[in-house]
Structure 1
Amino acid sequence: MTFVAISDTHLHNWSQFAIPTESGINSRLLQILKAIEEAACAADYHAPAGVVPTVYHGGDLFHVRGSLTPSVLNAVLDFFKTIHRDYGVRFRMIAGNHDLETKDSCPMGNAAAALNS
């Protein structure tokens, strides 16, 4: 296996079914990030020698269209940097409708573009 595919993670500071954590990251958001880490770990574990493990995200990385809070963005940026550092996993993302500011958004209106590196 050279890749893992995930989708519709809807990262957000959830109020339902969530509590604040010591790290400051919402507990439900943290659970979703841990699930993404499991996907990255699986991609790394199963990648043949010499193949860069890749996780493809099929859209709706974020939950609220046109609104991304700094507490979510900063947690997500730190998370993906750590995952890349720890596992060497490459992430590829397609913008979903929740990631776009409007239905006619250009790349500047794509919240997931903040993760480009």
Structure 2
Amino acid sequence: MTRPADIYLRFLQLTEALRGLPALPALDPLEEKILEFVARTTQKSNRLSVRDMMAQSEIGSPATLHARITSMREKGWLTLSDTEDARRKQIELTPAALKHFDRLAEAFAKAAKGP
């Protein structure tokens, strides 16, 4: 019988293997947290502006968040697009970032099936 912990540990092994694939540059732990926040927000069909992101004080200070968003854009994980208000930019995942989440989902499904 497979325990839930076994599935999760297999998933971690598979995600570690994904990190070795040549795709996008690696993220630091804070950038991973930001990526997950952006993904969860946009999955709910909510728009996320840079200003909205800066208000997430539980993730980091505005200066830290701004620096990480800039870094993540340079690494190819995030993009900024214009909104109706030229002063506001919307944060979006790049196609490569979406493919990363697809690979994670595939790894999870594979882990759940068993060895």
- Structure having the higher Rg: 2
Query: Relative to total residues, which structure has the larger helix share, 1 or 2?
Result: 2
TM-score in terms of structure 1 length? 0.29
